[in-house]
């Protein structure tokens, strides 16, 4: 079950929800005397979905610590889940880069088929 706690009570790798519904994971502090930092884990409006979320300083005040598997599971299936956004973006980039490769493979296969057909004796071409 999730519970309200102060942001200062969070520890490394804790997953917490902000008031707008966006979920963050606490990362290590860059400076031991500085504020804790967190990285977006699941975006809800007004936060935008991104595949490469930057580190942010934790705001002061109460946050909702997610300790229940059910609560985190709801966010994992959400469209703003960072891992899901990352996978979709990588698939899109892969498809964009492979478009030229697929076209070349198709042209090569057609040329090989034509060359194989041209090597057949004339009488086999009649019955093909």
| Domain range annotation of the chain | 3-82, 84-117
CATH code of domain 3-82: 2.30.30
List, for residues 47-64, the tens digit of each pLDDT value.
888 888 988 888 777 888
Percent of the chain having pLDDT more than 90?
Answer: 29
38 forms beta bridges with: 26, 56
Given a cut of 80, whether residue 34 has pLDDT beyond it is no
Calpha distance 1→116 (Å, rounded): 67
Widest CA span in the chain: 86
Calpha distance 39→27 (Å, rounded): 7
40 forms beta bridges with: 24
pLDDT value of residue 30: 63
* C-beta of residue 65 within 8 angstroms of C-beta of residue 10: yes
Pair of tokens at residue 127: 């019955």
pLDDT value of residue 93: 92
pLDDT value of residue 106: 96
pLDDT value of residue 111: 95
């Amino acid at each position: 079950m999730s519970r309200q706690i102060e942001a200062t009570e969070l520890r490394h790798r804790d997953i917490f929800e902000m008031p707008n519904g966006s979920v963050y994971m606490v990362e290590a502090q860059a400076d031991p005397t500085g504020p804790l930092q967190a990285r977006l884990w699941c975006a809800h409006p007004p936060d935008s979905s991104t595949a490469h979320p930057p580190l942010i300083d934790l705001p002061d005040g109460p946050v909702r610590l997610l300790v229940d598997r059910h609560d985190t599971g709801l966010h994992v299936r959400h469209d703003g889940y960072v891992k899901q956004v990352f996978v979709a973006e990588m698939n899109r980039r892969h498809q964009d880069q492979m478009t030229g490769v697929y076209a070349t493979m198709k042209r090569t296969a057609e040329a090989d088929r034509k060359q194989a057909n041209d090597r057949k004796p004339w009488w086999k071409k009649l019955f093909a």
